[in-house]
Amino acid sequence: MRIISYNVNGIRAAIKKGFLDWLKTNPADVICVQETKSLKEDVDHTLFNELGYYDYWFSAQKKGYSGVAVFTRIKPDHWECGTGHKVSDDEGRILQLDFKDIRLINAYFPSGTSGQERQDFKYEWLDNFSGYLESLRKKYPRLILCGDYNIAHKEIDIHDPKGNKKSSGFLPEERAWMDQFFARHWVDSFRFFHPEPHRYSWWSQRFPSVRLNNKGWRIDYINVTEELKGQLVDADIFPDVKHSDHCPVYLEIKT
């Protein structure tokens, strides 16, 4: 199974920038997107079906905000929206699909960049999600968690760690959450294959030269539980795909 996770920063905007043409190249079997900023009925979703993809959506109640979707050539055995955490579910942040004994979770983690109130919400969300994952894992030990985590884990994952030590997305508390996450026997699939620096998945849109000069952050992940570590085949980041301020991250896994 080939999986891509991609924050498209607005699915309609991405389509205008060639997202559907990119899908025609068959980049993966399962495409998990975040920040759709759209209801399913506001998009001609039959275009995805015509390309051979089943489409599943979970949108925020607030129009033009958040939202996740999955486009998959492999029909899941089961799919469900959310986690039961109402505040999170109202923002359309989690979509889950079962492929035989593997559960794939597409997640759009909150950002705290707009101020302390949202940063506090982010910490609350992370705590709640940790408990949810631990509970879910008892039933589904073979988990894949992909999405925009809105956290750069280590200094290697950000172009300017010293200058961003007080920036949301690289705060000590957020990085500690990632430490604890991986300590619970999750595997960073990209780092499993790629120990090298200067590999990023997001670049600020404020300055066009930032992406050109690769001054980015790695905040998009496809991580797996330890039970799937032996089935990892390949992982990568595709910075040359440009429909968004993020780029796709990739995982190939034996099923």
Residues forming a β-bridge with 70: 32, 56
Residue at token pair 């879910």: 136
Three-state SS for 57? strand
What is the pTM for the complete model shown?
A: 0.97
- Residue 148 falls in the annotated catalytic set: yes
> Which of 148, 157, 220, 245 is flagged as catalytic?
148
Selection from 7, 225, 222, 240 nearest residue 111 by Cα: 7
Residue at token pair 């998959």: 72
- C-beta separation of 55 from 45 below 8 A: yes
Q: What is the DSSP string of 122-153?
A: HHHHHHHHHHHHHHHHHH--SEEEEEE-----
- Cα angle: 56, vertex 57, 63; to 5 degrees: 165
Residue 188 Cα to chain centre, angstroms? 13
- All domains of the chain, ordered by start, with CATH? 2-253 (3.60.10.10)
Digitized pLDDT (tens) for each residue of the chain, 255 residues in all: 999 999 999 999 999 999 999 999 999 999 999 999 999 999 999 999 999 999 999 999 999 999 999 999 999 999 999 999 999 999 999 999 999 999 999 999 999 999 999 999 999 999 999 999 999 999 999 999 999 999 999 999 999 999 999 999 999 999 999 999 999 999 999 999 999 999 999 999 888 899 999 999 999 999 999 999 999 999 999 999 999 999 999 999 999
Pairing, β 94-99 against β 78-81: antiparallel
